[in-house]
Amino acid sequence: METPGVENQMRRLAFSTHDIAVLRQSIEISEDLISDHFKISTSQWKRYRYDVQSLKDLAEDEITDVAFAQVRRYAHCPSERLRGSETGEYFKICLQDHMIFQALQRDPQIRLLPLSTYIVTHELIHVVRFARFLQHFQVSDRERETEERLVHSLTQQLLGPLKIPGLAEVLAAFENIGLMETLVVAGG
């Protein structure tokens, strides 16, 4: 008898090279939308320490089987050397490729570009709100639900006018969704 962890790992398909190219496109779209909405210049983006990574680049504790993404908050980016006086809060958006693939298989009219654009936009709104102290990272379940509703509404508002094939179907599919991600405070 196999353990559940081994079974889940077998089903965890990672994005292909082509899928990663689509993901990069969705990140560009999302960053442009969020830059316009929050009035963030190209140079100001450097203050927002974050990264978007897919399954093949995640540690085991950054993987979940219950959400499209997991936002992890670290004390600093592992690849950055900071001086003692610098703060280095770092957010890692851990995309769960296997969960995204499950949604694509379950709903064949949904395609990767609009779905990943929705997910990345949603997560980057969280990152900006956390980094600007518009929302605390660790909150009660009630406060988290309120934040999720606000970010969900803002995501729908920002993406609504875009003319990406398949985006209308994604917006409709996620119109009444609850949580899209898990939020985790991590060491390091």
Tens-place pLDDT, residues 129-181:
888 776 656 666 777 777 888 889 999 999 999 999 999 999 988 877 654 55
159 to each of 53, 66, 75, 106, how far by Cα in Å? 22, 24, 31, 22
The count of domains in the chain is 1
46 burial type by CB count under 10 A (0-12 exposed, 13-18 middle, 19+ buried): exposed
Using the structure block, give the residue that is written with the tokens 């709903």: 107
Its domain, for residue 150, covers: 4-185
pTM: 0.82
Q: What is the CA radius of gyration of the chain?
A: 16
> Which residues, 6 or more positions from 65, have their beta carbon under 8 angstroms from its beta carbon?
8, 96, 98, 99
Measured CA to CA, the distance from residue 177 to residue 86 in angstroms comes to 38
Using the structure block, give the residue that is written with the tokens 């899209």: 180
Amino acid 142: pLDDT: 76
Q: Could you read off the pLDDT of 69-125 as tens digits, one per residue?
A: 988 888 755 555 544 444 568 889 999 999 999 999 988 889 999 999 999 999 999
